[in-house]
């Protein structure tokens, strides 16, 4: 099983930092190092200063560390205080409050077994960040319980970049089976681990652009890795749960066809201070109530406010 976590990604201790507003590459930044805290909280933020990108900007520490590209009009100004979006969905605040209420028990699989909760708390920060990335790579198309089991088996072997590179492919495949697409993941994990050893001294890169350039690492994984491993909110992590629920609630101007499209549409209007919360909140909601098939609309506090409730 994964290590018990004191908090989910939603509670990552982070600061609001003006950097890149777009879905495009974000970079690491400088910041305080005075708090030697766990990776998932202050430590992630402090460790997040190290960057392999040349671009570094610093803003005063606040609660969230959000990376985005400032528009021309925002540059040099208090870009964290942005104007309201031109469009926002009707009733979204009440719908969000209702989901928070339904999720208040924090008893969904993602709350205990999510990929971002599966690293070894006693390992050095660099190793923990690698384990975060690896658990995210394993998690795609895979239930949290299966990812957690694979991570447990890998950690029992001593899960580091070196141990993975020294392991033969069939052993690695045996350890991670039955995660989805496990054969491809063996290949991607080996390739990514070799790159991390060669270019990053065994650590993971601290920018979104470098993360998504790694084999087998997609945008959702990269955004979660930035948040969990580095304490930086670089964008909204959208998986199939988030994609489905956002469309059911009509949280985009028009229906979206892919998680990436959903992410872009959400980031156009959702206040940035909510970006880090939305993934864990909606994933758990999708696991427990707004199921892919036969959602439990009768038990959902949003039933009266949900455009999809009567069509499912």
Question: Could you list the residues that contact ligand SF4 (CB under 6 A)?
Answer: 248-249, 289-290, 295-297, 300, 302-303, 306, 308-309, 312
Q: State in angstroms the smallest separation of the CB of 139 from ligand SF4.
A: 22
CB-neighbour burial class of residue 234 (10 A; exposed 0-12, middle 13-18, buried 19+): buried
- Choosing from 75, 185, 220, 254, the catalytic residue is 220
- The vertex-39 CA angle with 240 and 52, nearest 5°, equals 85
User: Which residue lies nearer to ligand SF4 by CB, 149 or 286?
Assistant: 286
69 φ/ψ angles, rounded to the nearest 5 degrees = -90, 125
Least distance from ligand SF4 to the Cβ atom of residue 112, Å: 22
Shortest reach from residue 285's CB to ligand SF4, in Å: 8
CB closer to ligand SF4, 61 vs 312: 312
106 is catalytic: no
- Alpha-carbon torsion, ordered 167, 172, 174, 177, to 10 deg: 170
**Are the CB atoms for 158 and 175 separated by under 8 Å?**
no
Question: What is the chain's length?
Answer: 312
Which CB, 115 or 265, lies closer to ligand SF4?
265
User: Closest distance between ligand SF4 and the C-beta of residue 174, in Å?
Assistant: 38
State in angstroms the smallest separation of the CB of 309 from ligand SF4: 4
| Phi-psi map region of 231: left, alpha, beta (phi>0 left; psi -120 to 50 alpha) | left
3-state secondary structure of 123: coil
HEC-encoded secondary structure of 239-257: CHHHHHHHHHCCCCCCCCC
Query: Measured between alpha carbons, how far is 312 from 308 in angstroms, rounded to an integer?
Result: 6
Between 157 and 303, name the residue whose CB sits nearer to ligand SF4: 303
Which are the contacts of 269, defined by CB distance < 8 A and separation ≥ 6?
85, 87, 88, 89
Which has the closest alpha carbon to 305: 100, 68, 94?
Answer: 94
The β-bridge partners of 69 are: 20
**Minimal distance in Å, beta carbon 307 to ligand SF4?**
8
C-beta of 106 vs 296, nearer to ligand SF4 = 296
Shorter beta-carbon distance to ligand SF4: residue 142 or 302: 302
**Nearest-angstrom CA–CA distance, 234 and 51:** 14
Active site residues: 220
């Amino acid at each position: 099983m994964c290590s018990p976590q004191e908090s989910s990604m939603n509670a990552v201790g982070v600061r609001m930092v003006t950097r890149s507003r777009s879905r495009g590459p974000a970079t690491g930044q400088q910041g305080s190092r005075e708090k030697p805290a766990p990776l998932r909280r202050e430590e992630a933020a402090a460790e997040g200063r190290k960057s392999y990108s040349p671009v570094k900007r610093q803003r005063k520490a606040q609660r969230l560390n959000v990376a985005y590209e400032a528009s021309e009009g925002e540059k040099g100004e208090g870009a964290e205080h942005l104007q309201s979006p031109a469009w926002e969905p009707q009733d979204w605040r009440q719908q969000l409050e209702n989901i928070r209420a339904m999720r208040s028990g924090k008893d969904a699989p993602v709350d205990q077994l999510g990929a971002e909760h599966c690293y070894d708390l006693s390992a050095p920060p660099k190793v923990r960040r690698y384990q975060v990335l690896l658990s995210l790579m394993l998690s795609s198309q895979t239930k949290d319980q299966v990812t957690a089991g694979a991570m447990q088996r890998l950690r029992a072997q001593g899960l580091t970049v070196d141990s993975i590179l020294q392991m033969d492919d069939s052993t690695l495949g045996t350890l991670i089976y039955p995660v989805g697409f496990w054969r491809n993941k063996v290949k991607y994990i080996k390739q990514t681990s070799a790159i991390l050893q060669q270019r990053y001294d065994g650590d993971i890169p601290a920018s979104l652009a470098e993360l998504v350039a790694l084999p087998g690492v997609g945008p959702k994984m990269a955004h979660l890795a930035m948040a969990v491993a580095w304490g930086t909110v670089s964008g909204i992590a959208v998986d199939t749960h988030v994609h489905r629920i956002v469309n059911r609630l009509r949280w985009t101007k028009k229906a979206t066809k892919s998680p990436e499209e959903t992410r872009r549409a959400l980031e156009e209007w959702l206040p940035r201070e909510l970006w880090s919360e939305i993934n864990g909140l909606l994933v758990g909601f999708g696991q427990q109530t707004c199921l892919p098939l036969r959602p439990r609309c009768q038990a959902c506090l949003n039933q009266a406010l949900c455009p999809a409730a009567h069509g499912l």
